[in-house]
């Protein structure tokens, strides 16, 4: 943002709207927008967008045909009639610049045991410069940054000089199908910004992610004769250990990876949910484990799936019971490609310049060991997508919190990015 005057105007506008932004974020965090329960949160957002005069498209995922599209992830036991998505279109008075998608997810992961939180996870509170609550960091504060960056332009008497789409999606934490649905519905722009909590660092790359369910059988007998039965929970451990060993081998190979060679153990395996058995004194007849494993750029999903299947089959062959009762592997959730944002894009240059003008330092980039929604835009629709946003702590853990000073500064950077990417038109101040 070389224009010093513009920077001052936007900073003043963000200041003027700041209390409103924090109150808005607090309300956003108070919605327990867990998977399948995002409706009230999305409806509240949609109403606020409409009040701003933006044209709002509110729809649910069951209304969008996307199973055939690259990047789609399969789901089981999920009711997509409840998966509400919101896309607001903000049209310019006159078009001079480049169009932009601002996208953020409002789905949050479960809070875990309430007693591990200092305060209840959906009763947000501001303390010592942090706003606490599930989703405060990942990524409701980023959503507030993109919305209030748009508000700052208007308060400053400016409108973006190109179409801006402000999108709040769901399913980011499990499939990415929310982001994909916006593209399936036809929304496109010349760049996309997703303000995930990166602490003002650009996400250069993200790993791919696959979710799968291991389904294991056992033979139920009275534990008094356990030797005549077979314990499905213990059989599941055999498979879990085999997949940990596979992960170690993949990470060994990663030491020469073009992008990830300097990231220690970039591929993570996580048995995340386990259920099984029916009775303390019966050998369990069943066990299911929901798992997540990463994959690096250069490995296809098909190759990664084959490796998991081979590992499970091999481990089963070596086990007395499993050899005759092969476990099932069910692909349920994320089937997400790894993604590299190749350096040199115009969008990255513009963001880097604004970052530097406001923070006085060069924008750095990092290699992520998680997944984000940028892959859809860049990989399948040729829209450069930047993952860059505010910062905080405790994502997916307890006492999750957003750093409010960094949020304010990031809101200014995003406002500057919108102004420089889209150009601006003077309008009457509100
Ligand atoms: Zn996130």
| pLDDT digits 0-9 by tens, 352-375 | 999 999 999 999 999 999 999 999
Cα(365) to centroid(ligand 1), Å: 17
Cα(278) to centroid(ligand 1), Å: 36
Cα(171) to centroid(ligand 1), Å: 10
Cα(138) to centroid(ligand 1), Å: 5
Question: For residue 174, what are its two tokens?
Answer: 């499990």
What Rg value do the Cα atoms of the chain yield, rounded?
23
Cα(176) to centroid(ligand 1), Å: 11
- Note the pLDDT of residue 296: 97
The answer to whether 107 touches 38, Cβ cutoff 8 Å, is yes
Cα(104) to centroid(ligand 1), Å: 8
- Note the pLDDT of residue 248: 98
- Note the pLDDT of residue 320: 86
- Note the pLDDT of residue 2: 54
- Note the pLDDT of residue 1: 58
- Note the pLDDT of residue 428: 79
With H, G, I as helix, E, B as strand and everything else as coil, classify residue 148.
Answer: helix
pTM across the whole model: 0.96
Distance CA 373, CA 1 (A): 26
Torsion, Cα 303 307 312 315, to 10 degrees, reads: 160
The answer to whether 335 touches 406, Cβ cutoff 8 Å, is no
Cα(249) to centroid(ligand 1), Å: 28
**Residue ranges for the chain with pLDDT beneath 50:** none
Which residues are in the CB-under-5-Å shell of ion ligand 1? 138-139, 196
Distance CA 99, CA 324 (A): 58
- Note the pLDDT of residue 430: 55
- Note the pLDDT of residue 222: 92
């Amino acid at each position: 943002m070389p224009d010093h005057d513009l920077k001052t105007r936007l900073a003043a506008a963000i200041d003027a709207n700041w209390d409103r932004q924090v109150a808005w974020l607090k309300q956003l965090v108070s919605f327990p927008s867990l998977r399948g329960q995002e409706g009230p949160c999305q409806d509240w957002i949609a109403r606020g967008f409409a009040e701003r005069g933006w044209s709002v498209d509110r729809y649910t995922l069951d209304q969008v045909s996307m199973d055939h599209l690259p990047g789609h992830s399969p789901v089981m036991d999920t009711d997509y009639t409840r998966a509400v998505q919101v896309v607001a279109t903000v049209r310019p008075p006159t078009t001079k610049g480049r169009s932009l998608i601002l996208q953020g997810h409002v789905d949050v992961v479960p809070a875990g045991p309430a007693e591990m939180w200092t305060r209840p996870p959906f009763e947000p509170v501001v303390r010592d410069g942090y706003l606490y609550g599930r989703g405060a960091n990942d990524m409701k504060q980023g959503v507030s940054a993109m919305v209030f960056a748009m508000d700052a332009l208007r308060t400053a008497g400016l409108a973006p000089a190109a179409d801006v789409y402000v999108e709040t999606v769901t399913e980011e934490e499990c499939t990415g199908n929310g982001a994909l649905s916006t593209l399936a519905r036809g929304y496109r722009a010349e760049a996309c910004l997703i303000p995930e909590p990166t602490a003002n660092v650009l996400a250069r790359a993200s790993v791919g992610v696959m979710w799968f369910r291991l389904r294991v059988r056992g033979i139920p007998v009275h534990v008094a004769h356990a030797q005549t039965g077979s314990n499905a929970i213990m059989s599941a451990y055999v498979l879990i250990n085999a997949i940990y060993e596979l992960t170690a081998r993949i990470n060994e190979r990663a030491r020469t990876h073009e992008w990830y060679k300097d990231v220690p153990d970039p591929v993570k395996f996580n048995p995340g949910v386990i259920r099984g058995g029916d009775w303390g004194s019966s050998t369990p007849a069943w066990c299911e484990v929901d798992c997540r494993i990463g994959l690096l750029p250069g490995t296809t999903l098909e190759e990664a799936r084959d490796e998991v299947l081979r590992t499970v089959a091999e481990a089963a062959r070596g086990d007395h019971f499993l050899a005759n009762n092969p476990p099932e592997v069910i692909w349920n959730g994320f089937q997400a490609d790894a993604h590299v944002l190749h350096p040199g894009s115009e969008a990255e240059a513009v963001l880097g310049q604004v970052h530097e003008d406001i923070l006085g330092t060069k924008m750095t980039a990092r290699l992520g060991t998680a997944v984000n929604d940028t892959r859809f835009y860049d990989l399948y629709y040729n829209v450069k997508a930047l993952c860059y946003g505010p910062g905080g702590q405790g994502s997916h853990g307890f006492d999750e919190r957003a750093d409010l000073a960094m949020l304010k500064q990031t809101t200014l950077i995003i406002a500057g990015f919108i102004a420089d990417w889209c150009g601006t038109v003077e309008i009457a101040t509100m």
